[in-house]
C-alpha cells in the first residue's frame, strides 16, 4: 500500500508480469541494474481486494472457533489499521469486518464494501494472522445470504423478535394456551417427550443449582420456543450454503427486558443441541444496563456472579464462548469478565470507533465537529428510537458557546457520547439542508487527512478494552 488519504494504491512488484494477472492496474517496467522488475499500480477496487484475499489467504475470513476473540465494528470503513495496532500481540483473534444489515443501510454500505474496507486496512497495517467477518444481528435468511455471498465467516443471529417476553411472568392460563399453540412440529419434539427429557433434571455446578420442574420448563418453552425455531432455521440454511464447520455461529438473546436466568441458558443450549445446532458463542442478557457508548450501569457484584454462572454452563455443555454485546466502553466490567470467562469470550464493539473518529475531528477541525454535534442533537429524538439509551439533549452544554479547545471533552460526556453514537447514520447520509456539503463526506475527508492521529487514538482506546483480557483472566496467569 502506498499514498495518503484518498490517493492510496496497491503496488505489486514482480519479475514476471503474468504473476500478478489477478490484480488490475497500470504496469511499467523498472530497470534494476542489468535486469528489470515490473511495477503494477492498482486502485483499491473490489476486484483488487478480492485478488488480495486470494493471494494472502489469512485475509480471507475464516472461522475462529472458541478462541478468545473481539469484533471491531467500523461504520466509516477507515478504522482497521488502528484496530490492528491495538489487537496485535494480544493473542485475541480479531473480526475487523463487522456490521449489521441495519447499520449497513444507515451508512449506505454493502457487505462487500464492509469486507473490502477491512481487507485494505488489515493489509495496510501488516496483519499476518487470521481474521473473521461478522454478519452482525441478522434476522432473515436473505440477510444471511447477502453476507455469505461475499465470504463472511461469522453469523450473529438475533431471534429477539420471536421471544415472548410476556411469558416470563404471565399467569398460568396464558402459559397453558401458549403451550397449546407452540410450533411443536418445527421444534421436532412434543410436549410429552419434552417432559421426559427434562423434568427432574438437577443442574449442580459450583455457582449454579436448580431443578427443572414443570413450572420452570413450560415457562421457558412459552418464552423461547419460537426463538429456538428461528435459530434452527437460520443455522440449517447457513450450514446448507456454507457447509457445517465452515462458519462461526453466534446466538444473541441479549435484547430482552429481563436477564437470562441460568436455567433458561441451560435449557436454551440443550434444545439447540437436540436440534443439531452447532454454535460458537452465545450472548445472554445480563442484569444492569449495557447502553451504547458509555460504561456499564448496574451492580458489578451481581454481574460478576452472573458471568460466572453463564461461564460454568457453557463450559459444562460444549464449551462455547460467552459474548458481550454492546461491549464497547464498558471499562468497569472487563476485569470482572476476564476473571469469570478466561479465554472463552467474544467482545463485540461497534460505535466506539465512530466516536473516536469524532474525537479526532474535534481536535483537528473544531468547526466541522461543532456542526456534527449540533446536527446530531437535532436528530437525536428521532434516531434514538431503535436504541436503549438514556441521554437527553437538555443535559448538553451550549454547543455554540463552547471554545474550540473544549469541544473534544464532549467525547467524555455521558449524554453527548450517546447522542453522537446513535445519530451516526443521519450524519453520514446528511444532505444539503445542513448548510453545505454532506457531513459524512466532510468527516471522511478530515479523517483521511488525519489518519495517523486517528489510528493512534484508536490504538490507545482499544488497548484499554483488551488489556484486562490479556492480563486479567485466570488462563492468562
Q: Is 103 a catalytic residue?
A: no
pLDDT of residue 432: 45
pLDDT of residue 477: 33
- The mean pLDDT of 258-273, rounded to a whole number, is 97
For residues 383 and 422, the answer to whether their CB atoms sit within 8 Å is yes
- The mean pLDDT of 144-173, rounded to a whole number, is 96
User: What are the tens digits of pLDDT across the range 412-425?
Assistant: 999 999 999 999 99
Catalytic residue among 103, 117, 136, 291: 136
Quote the mean pLDDT of the chain: 95
For residues 419 and 380, the answer to whether their CB atoms sit within 8 Å is yes
User: What are the tens digits of pLDDT across the range 11-62?
Assistant: 999 988 787 899 999 999 999 988 999 999 999 999 999 999 999 999 999 9
CA-nearest of 17, 34, 35 to 26 is: 17
User: What are the tens digits of pLDDT across the range 73-123?
Assistant: 999 999 999 999 999 999 999 999 999 999 999 999 999 999 999 999 999
pLDDT of residue 256: 87
CA-nearest of 411, 377, 389, 280 to 326 is: 389
pLDDT of residue 18: 81
pLDDT of residue 471: 79
pLDDT of residue 475: 45
Res 474 pLDDT > 60: no
> What is the three-state SS of 46-64?
HHHHHHHHHHCHHHCCCCC
Catalytic residue among 250, 271, 291, 356: 250
- The mean pLDDT of 403-407, rounded to a whole number, is 97
Q: How far is CA 325 from CA 71, 107, 136, 240, 298, in A?
A: 10, 20, 11, 27, 16
> What is the three-state SS of 421-464?
HHCHHHHHCCCHHHCCCCHHHHHHHHHHHCHHHHHHHHHHHHHH
Q: Is 116 a catalytic residue?
A: no
pLDDT of residue 255: 85
User: What are the tens digits of pLDDT across the range 191-235?
Assistant: 999 999 999 999 999 999 999 999 999 999 999 999 999 999 999
| Interatomic CA distance for residues 10 and 24, integer angstroms | 10
- The mean pLDDT of 249-264, rounded to a whole number, is 94
Q: What is the DSSP letter of 430?
A: -
- The mean pLDDT of 266-292, rounded to a whole number, is 97
Helix (H) or strand (E) segment spanning residue 270: helix 262-274
Q: Across the beta sheet with 26-32, what order do the strands follow?
A: 10-14, 35-42, 26-32
Chain centroid offset of residue 149 CA:
19
Residue 136, strand partner residues: 100
Res 473 pLDDT > 70: no
- DSSP helix/strand/coil, 440: helix
For residues 163 and 242, the answer to whether their CB atoms sit within 8 Å is no
Amino acid at each position: 500500500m502506498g499514498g495518503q488519504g484518498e490517493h492510496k494504491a496497491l503496488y505489486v512488484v514482480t519479475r514476471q508480469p503474468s504473476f500478478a494477472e489477478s490484480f488490475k492496474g497500470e504496469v511499467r517496467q523498472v530497470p534494476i541494474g542489468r535486469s528489470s522488475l515490473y511495477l503494477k499500480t492498482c486502485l483499491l477496487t473490489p476486484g483488487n481486494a478480492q485478488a488480495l484475499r486470494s493471494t494472502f489467504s489469512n485475509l480471507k475470513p475464516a472461522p475462529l472457533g472458541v478462541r478468545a476473540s473481539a469484533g471491531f465494528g467500523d461504520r466509516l470503513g477507515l478504522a482497521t489499521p488502528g484496530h490492528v495496532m491495538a489487537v496485535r500481540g494480544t493473542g485475541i483473534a480479531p473480526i475487523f469486518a463487522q456490521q449489521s444489515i441495519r447499520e449497513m443501510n444507515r451508512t449506505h454500505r454493502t457487505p462487500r464494501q464492509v469486507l473490502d474496507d477491512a481487507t485494505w486496512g488489515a493489509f495496510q497495517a501488516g496483519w499476518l494472522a487470521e481474521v473473521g467477518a461478522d454478519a452482525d444481528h441478522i434476522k432473515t435468511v436473505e440477510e444471511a445470504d447477502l453476507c455469505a455471498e461475499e465470504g463472511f465467516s461469522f453469523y450473529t443471529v438475533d431471534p429477539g423478535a420471536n421471544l415472548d417476553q410476556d411469558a416470563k411472568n404471565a399467569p398460568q392460563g396464558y402459559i397453558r394456551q401458549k403451550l397449546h399453540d407452540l410450533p411443536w412440529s418445527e421444534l421436532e419434539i412434543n410436549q410429552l417427550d419434552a417432559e421426559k427429557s427434562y423434568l427432574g433434571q438437577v443442574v449442580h455446578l459450583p455457582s449454579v443449582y436448580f431443578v427443572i420442574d414443570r413450572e420452570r420448563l413450560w415457562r421457558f418453552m412459552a418464552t423461547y420456543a419460537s426463538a429456538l425455531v428461528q435459530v434452527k432455521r437460520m443455522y440449517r440454511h447457513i450450514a446448507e450454503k456454507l457447509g457445517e464447520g465452515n462458519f462461526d455461529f453466534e446466538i444473541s438473546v441479549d435484547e430482552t427486558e429481563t436477564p437470562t436466568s441460568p436455567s433458561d441458558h441451560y435449557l436454551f443450549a440443550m434444545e439447540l443441541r437436540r436440534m443439531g445446532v452447532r454454535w460458537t458463542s452465545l450472548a445472554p442478557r445480563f442484569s444492569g444496563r449495557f447502553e451504547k457508548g458509555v460504561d456499564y450501569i448496574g451492580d458489578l457484584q451481581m454481574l460478576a456472579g452472573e458471568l460466572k454462572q453463564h461461564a460454568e454452563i457453557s463450559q459444562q455443555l460444549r464449551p462455547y464462548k460467552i459474548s458481550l454485546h454492546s461491549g464497547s466502553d464498558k471499562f468497569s466490567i472487563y476485569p470482572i469478565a476476564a476473571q469469570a470467562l478466561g479465554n472463552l469470550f467474544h467482545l463485540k464493539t461497534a460505535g466506539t470507533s465512530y466516536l473516536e473518529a469524532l474525537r479526532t475531528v474535534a481536535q483537528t477541525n473544531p468547526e466541522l465537529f461543532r456542526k456534527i454535534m449540533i446536527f446530531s442533537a437535532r436528530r437525536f429524538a428521532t434516531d434514538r428510537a431503535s436504541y436503549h439509551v438514556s441521554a437527553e439533549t437538555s443535559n448538553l452544554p451550549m454547543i455554540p458557546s463552547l471554545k474550540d479547545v473544549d469541544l473534544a471533552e464532549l467525547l467524555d460526556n455521558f449524554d453527548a457520547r450517546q447522542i453522537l453514537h446513535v445519530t451516526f447514520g443521519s450524519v453520514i447520509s446528511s444532505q444539503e439542508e445542513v448548510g453545505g456539503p454532506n457531513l459524512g463526506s466532510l468527516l471522511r475527508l478530515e479523517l483521511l487527512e488525519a489518519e495517523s492521529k486517528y489510528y493512534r487514538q484508536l490504538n490507545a482506546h482499544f488497548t484499554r478494552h483488551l488489556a484486562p483480557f490479556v492480563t486479567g483472566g485466570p488462563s492468562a496467569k
